[in-house]
Amino acid sequence: MLKQVSIYAENKKGKMLEITGILAEEGINILGSVTNDSAEYGIVRMIVSDPVKALDKLKEKGIICKLTDVIGVEITDEVGNLHRLLEALQNANINVNYLYLSFNRESGCPIMIMHTDDAKEVENSLRSKGFSLC
């Protein structure tokens, strides 16, 4: 299981620059990220090299954030592999709330980062089906 930093950021010019600046200043690497926005606020979801430190440093600067459990599944970069992963989840009656992409820097393989309701149960289900988890 991975820890994701979920950041609630005001939708204004320079906010992402502020967030990435704090992380860079602390030597924290962003390994994967997705941003969803609305009129006033956005949610920035990140997998980072040190999620606890990131959380602490962002909070010190007044940024609203929390840690969220997510699952990372490494898949090979081949046509249909995401479909096979989602099909396995559906066959196990598992709903995926959201997902986004990262990469294993060593193997070069894609890592699908996903949020589900019961991460531990989903991890066990995926392992039993032969998927490689991070």
Domain shared by 63 and 103, yes or no: no
CATH number at residue 103: 3.30.2130.10
Domain shared by 60 and 90, yes or no: no
Tell me 40's DSSP state.
S
Tokens 């962003």 appear where? 30
Question: Using one digit for the tens of pLDDT, what is the confidence trace for 36-79?
Answer: 877 778 899 999 999 999 999 999 999 999 999 999 999 888 89
How far is the C-alpha of 57 from the C-alpha of 51, rounded, in Å?
A: 10
Question: Which has the closest alpha carbon to 51: 127, 121, 113?
Answer: 113
Domain shared by 63 and 74, yes or no: no
Question: Which has the closest alpha carbon to 74: 117, 114, 116?
Answer: 114
Domain shared by 78 and 55, yes or no: no
Q: Which 3 state secondary structure label does DSSP give 62?
A: coil
pLDDT, average across residues 11-33: 94
Domain boundary, last residue among 68, 92, 125: 68
pLDDT for 105 beyond 90:
no
Q: Dump strand ranges (E) for 11-95.
A: 30-37, 41-48, 64-74
Domain shared by 27 and 39, yes or no: yes
Domain shared by 23 and 74, yes or no: no
13: tokens are 């010019």
Give the count of domains, the chain: 2
Question: What is the span of the domain harbouring residue 116?
Answer: 70-133
Domain shared by 84 and 125, yes or no: yes
Radius of gyration (Cα) for the chain, nearest Å? 16
Domain shared by 10 and 54, yes or no: yes
pLDDT, average across residues 78-101: 91
Domain shared by 103 and 81, yes or no: yes
